Amino acid sequence: MTVTAVVGAQWGDEGKGRVIDYLASRADVVVRFQGGDNAGHTVVNDLGRFALHLIPCGIFSGARCLLGAGTVVNLDTVSEELTMLQAAGVNTANFWIDRRAHLIWPYHRLLDGAEEERRKRQAGDAPGAEEMGTTKRGIGPVYADKHAYNGIRAGDLHHPDLLRGRLELILPLKNRELAFYGLRQVTVEEMMHLAERWRQEHGQRIVDTLPLVRDAVLQGRDLLLEGQLGVGRDINWGIYPFSTASSPTAGGACTGSGVPPRALDEVLGVVKAYSTSVGGGPFPTELHDEYGTMLQEIGREFGATTGRPRRCGWLDGVSLGYASWINGFTGIAVTKLDILDVLDHVQICTGYRLGDQILDHVPDTVTQGLVEPVYESWPGWQVDTSGCRSWDELPAAARAYLGRISELAAAPIRFVSVGPERSQIIVR
Ligand code: GDP
Ligand code: IMO
Ligand code: MG
């Protein structure tokens, strides 16, 4: 019985959804602890293929699924996702939202989109004004309001008078911002109307989740803490400002779910066998050659939320070591090994060259944009691994490559995923 945080070790889209879906069969509780519907977690199982943005990927296994206090919630996305899941025959009765989670209002999305457009117009004018490439789901603006004490929490829907007071306080500020971008003003009445619809649709799911989490931990049940994105875009440790607005790390897992740090038994880093990144910012191992195209095409690397093509590159061992330190990985799950099957060789970055220096550590964002990767080359295996179900069935060259990943991540390999389906996994 364990409490396990499952976190992205790179820049997101490592296959966390796939890993959670696999592990959830033995989990009692699955908690999303940060982020919002910027996530796109793909699950392929007996019930179909799903891209979940908010509802935890444990929903298919009957686990109790929670959106923790650290998340930001667009209740319209929740409605869409529940409808989609229910149509596929999934039981959604065990899905709950913490009353402390902040609500994403339509103005957050509008402001995110408008700010992206402004950055796009200014991009190139000066360093520091580059386009961010956010998912335009309102994530930056809603966390900004949360931290400026101008947020509205899910539980506020249960208190219409308090909610009206909050809106009267906050909307004049939001309207100033909307006016700055030439966007339509919002009124208290409009937002109260929306809030009433949300309350009717989801009010009974908005609860205090802490007693559920606390009791599950105290009773020794299996908990999974589901991360969104990866440490590469963490608000503190990622490539700020090309980051997200929360902490998708093991630390964030505790603060966002209500699990005390000492109750965390395992931190499972999900590592894609190569690198991808969606959005702006430095990406030292990015490939612009035929190998990049192969990874993109064979790996079908398109964003699950925005459909944007993902930037692709070789595995970055420097950032993996950094991710391991920040998170304290107790194990890793390597995904998408099968995508490398056809390659004649694979490369791993083990250092960053900066002038005549070799860095073995992730520097600040500006410096990271200047470094050249130092690579090790590993022989390819050119064998189809998608049918392998045990470590010993894997070709020796693939095992050697995985061994090196484990060394760089300073953690043992617990799982190797060789396909998107629930069963296509090797347990070590
Ligand atoms: P997440 O955001 O970390 O959950 O990852 P995404 O769902 O955004 O992206 C991972 C993609 O890779 C999805 O399309 C998955 O179905 C797919 N996937 C996950 N693991 C594997 C694997 O081992 N092999 C293959 N071929 N696809 C995988
Ligand atoms: P999952 O959970 C990949 C990226 C965006 C952008 C930056 C900030 O599926 O791994 P935001 O909308 O959060 O303000 O965007 O973060 N980003 C993701 N990239 N996977 C995600 O989620 C992402 N969520 C945000 O592309 O660069
Ligand atoms: Mg994703």
Rounded distance between C-alpha atoms, residue 277 and residue 3, angstroms: 28
> 335, 405, 423, 426: which to mutate for ligand 1, most atoms within 8 A of CB?
335
Which atom from ligand 2 is nearest to the alpha carbon of 305?
9
Q: Answer for the pair 345, 380: CB distance below 8 angstroms, yes or no.
A: yes
Among residues 120, 418, 153, 404, the alpha carbon closest in space to that of 280 is found at 120
The position carrying tokens 């929306």 is 194
Strand pairing category for 223-230 and 331-335: unpaired
Which atom from ligand 2 is nearest to the alpha carbon of 139?
14
Q: Whose CA is nearest to atom 24 of ligand 1?
A: 419
| Average pLDDT over every residue of 224-231 | 98
pLDDT one-digit tens code per residue, 329-358: 999 999 999 999 999 999 999 999 999 999
Q: Is 37 in the pocket of ligand 1 (CB under 6 A)?
A: no
Q: From ligand 1's centre to the CA of 13, what distance in Å?
A: 7
Rounded distance between C-alpha atoms, residue 234 and residue 242, angstroms: 9
Quote the pLDDT of residue 307. Answer: 87
> 18, 135, 143, 239: which to mutate for ligand 2, most atoms within 8 A of CB?
135
Tokens for 119, please give them. 């950055």
> Is residue 299 pLDDT above 90, yes or no?
yes
| Average pLDDT over every residue of 82-101 | 98
| Average pLDDT over every residue of 2-22 | 98
Helices (H), 328-413: 365-368, 396-409
Q: Whose CA is nearest to atom 16 of ligand 1?
A: 420
Q: Which amino acid is at 127?
A: P
Q: If pLDDT is split at 50, 70 and 90, which confidence band does 125 have?
A: low
> Is residue 1 pLDDT above 90, yes or no?
no
Q: If pLDDT is split at 50, 70 and 90, which confidence band does 120 have?
A: confident
Which residues form the catalytic set? 13, 41
The structure's pTM equals: 0.97
> Is residue 124 pLDDT above 80, yes or no?
no
Q: Is 253 in the pocket of ligand 1 (CB under 6 A)?
A: no
| Average pLDDT over every residue of 220-237 | 98
Tokens for 96, please give them. 């709950």
Mean pLDDT of the residues in the chain = 96
Quote the pLDDT of residue 126. Answer: 67
High-pLDDT (> 90) share of the chain, %: 95
E strands in 112-243: 206-207, 223-230
Quote the pLDDT of residue 130. Answer: 76
| Average pLDDT over every residue of 205-214 | 98
> Is residue 241 pLDDT above 90, yes or no?
yes
Q: Is 233 in the pocket of ligand 1 (CB under 6 A)?
A: no
> Is residue 167 pLDDT above 70, yes or no?
yes
| Average pLDDT over every residue of 36-51 | 96
